[in-house]
Structure 1
Amino acid sequence: MALYNEEMSLDKITHHNDSLESSHLNPINEIAFGAISGMFGKVVEYPFDTVKVRLQSSSNYSISTVGCIAQTYRNEGIIRGFYQGIRAPLLGACLETAILFASYNATSHFFINHYRLKSDRELPLWTKCVSGGFAGFTASFVLTPIELVKCKLQVQNVKQSGPISTTTSSSSSSSGSPKNIYSTVIRKILANEGVSGLWSGLSSTLIREVFGTAIWFSTYEYMTQVFRERRIAKGGDENAENSDAELMFSGALAGVLFNFSTFPVDTIKSNIQTNDFDKASSSLLKVGKYICQQPGGMRNLYNGLGITLVRAAPANAIIFYVYELLKRNYG
C-alpha cells in the first residue's frame, strides 16, 4: 500500500512536470507570431496615428480632427499624407510586438514555474500586470528611436509650410527615396544630439509602455477569462478556445484602455520628439507644463484622443487575433 501511494505520488509529480514542460515557450514562434501580428496592426493604425501625432504636435490648438484629416488629404494625398514614414514604424511594430509577446510570455512562465501551476489560466491577475509591465519596459528601448524617426517624418510635411497647412510642392527632404529620407533624419539627429539623441523621449516612452502595457495585457487576459467563465457557467467545455469575436473584442478593449490611460504622456512624448526643445527644457514635467500653458490648457494633452481611440480598437483587435490564430495553428 505504501509502495502504491509512493508510485501514485511519483506519477502526480511526473504528470505535473510534464504539464509544465508542455507549456514551455518556443522563443522562435513567440518572436515570429508577435512580429507578424504587429505588422498587421500597424498597417491598420498608421493613418490614424499620423493624424494623432500631427494634432498632438501642432501649435494650432483650434484645429479639429476632421479638419486635420481633410487638409492632409487635400494637400498631400493618401500615401504621402497618411503613410509618410511608415517603413520605420512597420519594422518597429514587428520588433516591438515580438518583444512584447516574447517578454510577456517568458515572464508569465516564470510565475507558472515559480508557483508550480499547470497553465497561465491559473495565474492571479497581478502577475499578468507585472509581466505586461516588464514587457513594456523591455520594448521601450527598441521603440523609442523608431518612434522618434516616425514622429519626425509624420510632421515633416506640416513643418515645411506651417501648422496643419501643407502644400503639394516637393522638397529636398521628401522628394528623395524613402531610404534617403530616413538616413537624412537620422543623420540630423546624430549631428545635433549625438547617439543619445536617438533615445529622446525615452523617459516618457518608459512611463507609457510600462503602465500601458501592464493594462494592455491584463485587460486582454481578464476579458478572455470572463468570456471563458461565462461559457463554462452555461455548461460549455472549459477547454474550448475563445471565439474569434471574443478575442477581437478583448483585444479592442485592451487597446482602448491602453491609449486612454497613457494618452497625456504620449502627447508629451510626441512633443519632445518633434519640437525643438533644448535639453534643459525637454523633461517630461517641463514639456507637460509648457503644453498646458498654451491656449486650451490641459485639454491640449488630449489633442487627437478621439482618433486614437478609434484606431486603437481595430488595430489591437487584429494584433491579438492574428497572434492567437498563429499560435493555435502553428504554435
Structure 2
Amino acid sequence: MIDSPASAMDIPHHEPPVTLRSQTAAIEAVEDIVYGSTAGIVGKYIEYPFDTVKVRLQSQPDNLPLRYKGPIDCFRQSLKADGFVGLYRGITAPLVGAAAETSSLFFFERLGRELIYSSGLVSRDQFLSLPTLYFTGAFSGFFTSYVLTPIELVKCKIQAPASADGSAPPPLKPGAVIRDVYRHHGIKGFWHGQMGTLIRESGGSAAWFGGKETVTKMFHALNARTVNTKAEKDTLAAQPLPLWQQALAGASAGVSYNFLFFPADTIKSRLQTMAIGESVKDRTFLKEGIAIWKRYGAAGLYRGCGITCLRSAPSSAFIFMVFDGLKTFLPMQ
C-alpha cells in the first residue's frame, strides 16, 4: 500500500504533536466543507442543463413510446416547451445537493486518509499508494451516498415529474415535493433509490479521486522528464500542475466516474421519478434493472450516458481546479 517517495503524489510531512495535528485536522475539515461547497456550486451551474436532459432520457416510461429520440431531440423539445430557463428547473435543491455532495466527498475522502494513517498501516511521513487512494475514494462515496439520495430524489422529481399519460405536468417546487414524499412514504421514502446511489457513489468516487490522482501522477512524471537534476525535479513536483493539465486530470475523473457506474444511476433515476404516492414495494433496484435489461438491453441502462459524460468533463475539471486553487491560494491556516 506504500509507494516510494519518488513515485508518491503527496508532499511528505512528519508527525506533528497531537494537539497541533488535531487543530490542523479541524481546519482542513472546514476547508473541505467550505471550498468543496463552493466548487460544487460552480460545477452544478455548468452541468445542470445536461443533467436535466439526462434525467428526462433515463426516466421515459416503458408503457408509452419514447418521447425523446436522443439528447439533441430532448434539448430541442425542452427548449421549445420551457425555454432555456426550463433546463434549470429545480436547480435550488441541486445547488444545495452539489454543495453537500462535493464537500462531503472531500471531507470523507480526507477522513478515509486519516483512517489509513490512524490504523498504523502507513505512517504520516510516508505516502499513500494509488490503490489506497482508490479505497479512500470508495470510502468517501459510500458515506456521501446517504447524504445525497434524499437531495437527488427531490431533484429528479422536479426535473422529470411523473405523469400517467406522458404529458408534461406543471412545474413542481422543492417544498411541495418534500411534503408529498413525507406524507405518502414517511422519512424512509427520501432514501428510495439508495442502492443505486450507493453503488454509483462508492464505485464512481473511487474512479473520481483515483482517476484524477492517476492522471496527475502521470503528468508529474512527464513533466519531470524536462529537467535533469534531482533538485529541479523536487521543485517541479512541489508545484501545481499547469492549468491545462489540471483540467485534463479533472475531466478524466468526471468521465470515469459517470461511465463506469452509469447503469446504477439509470436505475436510481427510474425509481426516483416514480409518481409520488405510487407503491414502491415492487419497484426494487434489482427488479427495475432486470426490467430495463429485458426491454431495452444494455442501451437502456446507458441511455443518457453520452450527454452525462459530456457535461461531467468540464464540470469535474472546474470542481477540482476551484477546490485545489482555493486550498492553495486561500489557506485557512
Name the structure 1 match of 2:310. 310
Higher relative helix content: 1
TM-score, length of structure 2 as denominator length: 0.84
Name the structure 2 match of 1:148. 153
Which 4+ residue blocks in structure 1 deviate beyond 3 angstroms?
18-25, 159-163
Name the structure 1 match of 2:299. 299
Matched, 1:118 2:117: no
The structure-2 alpha-carbon separation of the partners of 1:162 and 1:55, relative to structure 1 and needing over 3 Å to count, comes to: farther
Name the structure 1 match of 2:7. none
Name the structure 2 match of 1:47. 49
Pick the structure with greater CA Rg.
1
> 2 CA distance for matches of 1:291 and 1:238?
48
For 1:260, give the aligned amino acid.
F
Name the structure 2 match of 1:38. 40
CA offset at residue 203 of structure 1?
Answer: 1.2
- 2:138, 2:202 within 8 Å by CA — same for their partners in 1? yes
> 1 CA distance for matches of 2:143 and 2:80?
39
Q: Per-residue CA shift, 1:173-218, capped at 9, x if unaligned?
A: 55xxxxxx21211111111111100111111111111111011100
- Which of 54, 70, 77 in structure 2 is aligned with 1:71? 77
Deviates more, 1:22-31 or 1:243-252: 22-31
Deviates more, 1:42-51 or 1:184-193: 184-193
SS of residue paired to 1:16: coil
SS of residue paired to 1:306: helix
Aligned 1:75-114 pairs, distance under 5 A = 75-79=81-85, 81-112=86-117, 114=120
> 2 CA distance for matches of 1:264 and 1:19?
46
Matched, 1:127 2:137: no
Q: Per-residue CA shift, 1:294-326, capped at 9, x if unaligned?
A: 3x3331111111100110100000100000100
- 1:72, 1:166 within 8 Å by CA — same for their partners in 2? no
SS of residue paired to 1:280: coil
Structure 1, unpaired ranges of 5+: 1-14, 175-180
- 2:15, 2:124 within 8 Å by CA — same for their partners in 1? no
Deviates more, 1:90-99 or 1:22-31: 22-31
Name the structure 2 match of 1:330. 330
Name the structure 2 match of 1:16. 14
Deviates more, 1:224-233 or 1:300-309: 224-233
Q: What is the RMSD computed on CA atoms of the aligned residues?
A: 2.2
- Which of 208, 211, 222 in structure 1 is aligned with 2:200? 208
- Which of 209, 215, 222 in structure 1 is aligned with 2:214? 222
CA offset at residue 16 of structure 1?
Answer: 2.9
Name the structure 2 match of 1:6. none
